[in-house]
Amino acid sequence: MIIQVLANLCDKGYLGKEENSLTSLFFSGANVAFRREVFQQVGLYDVNCTTGEDQDISIRINNTEWELYFQPEAVVGHKCRRSVKAFIKQWYRYGLHHPYIFKKHNPKSFALYLRKRDTKKGELYRRILYKNGFPLNTTIFTSPFLIMNVFLLLTILALLLGLYTPIIVLGAITFILGVYYFTPDMELKHPLRTVRFIFLRYMANFALFTGGLLGGLKLGMLYISATLDYKR
């Protein structure tokens, strides 16, 4: 899955290995170094990865005796996208091509992940349901973004059908979930910055979700993406 900046997730030292390596932390290819012996053992980067090649090789390394070490003092400069359109397109592209990683490392299975409340060790999701040999390769991350939008769609459906009591109940739940989802973006002292953060993160997650859904369907699988969460 796409994860936020590693520095927000863990401290200096060796990264922990989760039971399911697909959700383990990984290093971005923009700032990482590997020993030659690692490539000799696990192979080179997968040229079939349009995006996510850094996650793919980190998964392969994580499945060996080698360990990944995080050094927060090793910093490189990285230029961000210069326009909102380019930024949203970037996250759509991430979503579109990332299902390949999950199909490659977890074929013919059903996997359901739940967002963790405690992320002190950098682990964002835990797998709560897994079934091998499932006819449709399925990966679902149940994030606050997904749950909020499901209730939003139910509220709109109730509104279209004229179901007044469900409108009130579902609308209230949607509002509470929205407050929970957007709270990390809110800075009361900087209202304009808050609006920008809310808009950008929502659009990035929407693009990531849409790209992942379409990219998964192209590969004959159902893929509901994790979300962009930038704070610990």
Q: Answer whether residue 229 is part of any domain.
A: no
Q: Answer whether residue 210 is part of any domain.
A: yes
Q: Of the candidates 222, 231, 229, 228, which has an alpha carbon nearest to the alpha carbon of residue 102?
A: 222
Q: For 5-132, where are the E strands, in sequence order? A: 13-14, 69-70, 109-115, 125-132
Q: Is 167 strand, coil or helix?
A: helix
Q: Answer whether residue 79 is part of any domain.
A: yes
pLDDT of residue 92: 95
Q: Answer whether residue 231 is part of any domain.
A: no
pLDDT of residue 8: 55
Does residue 25 have a pLDDT over 70?
yes
| Number of domains the chain contains | 1
Residue 40: burial class (beta carbons within 10 Å; 0-12, 13-18, 19+): exposed
Q: Answer whether residue 71 is part of any domain.
A: yes
Tokens of residue 80, six digits: 């961000």
Q: Tell me the pairing of strands 109-115 and 125-132.
A: antiparallel
Does residue 7 have a pLDDT over 70?
no
Q: Answer whether residue 230 is part of any domain.
A: no
| Domain with 153 in it | 6-224
Q: Answer whether residue 44 is part of any domain.
A: yes
152: amino acid identity, one letter? L
194: left (phi over 0), alpha (psi -120 to 50) or beta: alpha
Does residue 119 have a pLDDT over 70?
no
